[in-house]
Amino acid sequence: MSTSNQSNTNSLPFVLTGIPGLEALHVWISIPFCFTYIMTLLGNSMVLLAVRLDKSLHEPMYHFISMLAVIDLIFSTAVVPKMLAVFWLGSREIGFEACFIQMFFIHTFTAVESGVLLAMSFDRYTAICNPLRYTTILTSSRTVQIGLLSLARGVGVMIPLMCLLTGLPYCKTRVIPHSYCEHMAVVELACADPSVSDLYSLTVATLLVGTDSVFITFSYGMILRSVIRLPSQEARLKTLRTCGSHISIILVFYIGGLLSMYLQMFPFGLAPHIQVLVADFYLTVPPVLNPLIYGIKMKPIQEGILKLLGQLAGLSFRKPIKTGQMPREGGTAKK
């Protein structure tokens, strides 16, 4: 194909079908996606505000949780509004550049989230296995550096992939049988050999997920060994509860991602709408589960959110003054 024809073809918008075969049910299908998006915005915003306003939560672990909340907000906002526009308004067209920008955000922040989960496992490993050096190893500035490094890694590995994908001519059809610009669904529209981009994406995904998973597994293996050696059963349970929330998030992220990826690569005879729904739920359900899991499992986050809700409602969470006891001002009781 000539360069001019390729340029003209690539300037045309793509068309998203939504859920193939279930177009008549789009309005009803949109209800859970709309609900999860609203809960994602509320839940993650509450976590961010609680960590920001409660000084007792200004610790590395809660900074990483804040990073996870920001990732979830970006992740969902990159996908759900356009998805709802397809379901509600029939606005199926998406510009060529907009499609690949959406894909870039999805893949980049998937890689960033994997890096943050790795950092969180290192945080727990240091706090439990090397507590005396925790404050010197994980300072506030170092926490920010780790977050920026995860972001740089995600952006750095995705820019070459986007260059490879946008350089392909897309002349088969403009219809994407999906509700967002899913990578493999878009590549199938190319009328040139995408083997280079396929090899690159498979290599990057394998290295990122494989490396992060190995180090996360090693960290929690060391943590489990240290927990077993604790003399107090109460201390063991408290430590396991703290790590349980992290492990829950990790399992949801990696198992959901692998399931979605393998169903796109190997359909196993499943109907197209099942594959699309699995991919859609992978992008929309974990961001709403993350703040719920942290809110349920981690007491400091619970208390921070309750304080925030109290401030918003104009309530005071101060301890009630006992009868006959005057309030203290400046540390001295009035007489």
In a domain, 335, yes or no: no
Total number of domains constituting the chain: 1
3-state secondary structure of 93: strand
Task: Quick: pLDDT tens for 33-48.
Answer: 999 999 999 989 988 8
pLDDT in tens, 189-223: 888 888 888 889 888 888 888 899 889 989 888 88
How confident is residue 267, by pLDDT bands cut at 50, 70 and 90? low
Confidence of residue 8 (pLDDT cuts 50, 70, 90): low
Which pLDDT band, with edges at 50, 70 and 90, does 148 fall under?
very high
Residue in 67, 213, 49, 257 with CA at minimum distance from that of residue 149 = 67
Q: Is residue 63 part of a domain?
A: yes
pLDDT at 4: 52
Q: Which residue would you say has higher pLDDT here, 321 or 155? A: 155
Helix or strand (DSSP H, E) at 329: strand 328-329
Task: Quote the DSSP letter at residue 132.
Answer: G
Supply the pLDDT for residue 226.
Answer: 81
Q: Residue 111 pLDDT more than 60? A: yes
For the record, the structure tokens of 204 come out as: 């990057």
What confidence score (pLDDT) does residue 125 get?
Answer: 87
In a domain, 19, yes or no: yes
* Structural domain containing residue 69: 11-303
State residue 330's pLDDT score. Answer: 45
Is 85 inside any structural domain?
Answer: yes
Reported as a pLDDT band with limits 50, 70 and 90, residue 119 is: very high
**Rounded distance between C-alpha atoms, residue 30 and residue 85, angstroms:** 10
Given the DSSP bridges, would you call strands 332-333 and 175-176 parallel, antiparallel or unpaired?
Answer: unpaired
pLDDT of 283: 87
Exposure string for 177-198, b = 16+ CB within 10 A, e = fewer:
bbbbbbbebbbebbeeebeebe
Taking residue 303's Cβ as centre, other Cβ atoms within 10 Å add up to 15
122-to-27, 105, 172, 183, 294 alpha-carbon distances in Å? 43, 25, 47, 31, 18
Q: Which carries the bigger pLDDT value, residue 317 or residue 103? A: 103
Q: Is the separation of the CB atoms in 43 and 288 below 8 Å?
A: yes
User: Domain for residue 317, yes or no?
Assistant: no
Quote the tokens at residue 288: 């709403």
313-331 confidence digits (pLDDT tens): 765 444 454 544 444 444 4
Residue 322 lies in a domain: no
Lowest pLDDT segment from 37-41, 51-55, 88-92, 95-99: 51-55
Q: Cα separation of 142 and 64, whole Å?
A: 11
pTM, 2 dp: 0.83
Kindly tell me the burial class for residue 302, based on how many C-beta atoms sit within 10 Å of its own C-beta (0-12, 13-18, 19 or more). middle
The Cα 273–Cα 257 span in angstroms is 17
Average pLDDT (262-289) is 81
CB 239, CB 129: distance < 8 Å: no
CATH number at residue 190: 1.20.1070.10
Least confident interval from 57-66, 121-130, 156-165, 289-298: 289-298
Residue type, 282: Y
| pLDDT of 58 | 82
Gap between the Cα atoms of 17 and 154, Å rounded: 29
Is residue 329 situated within a structural domain? no
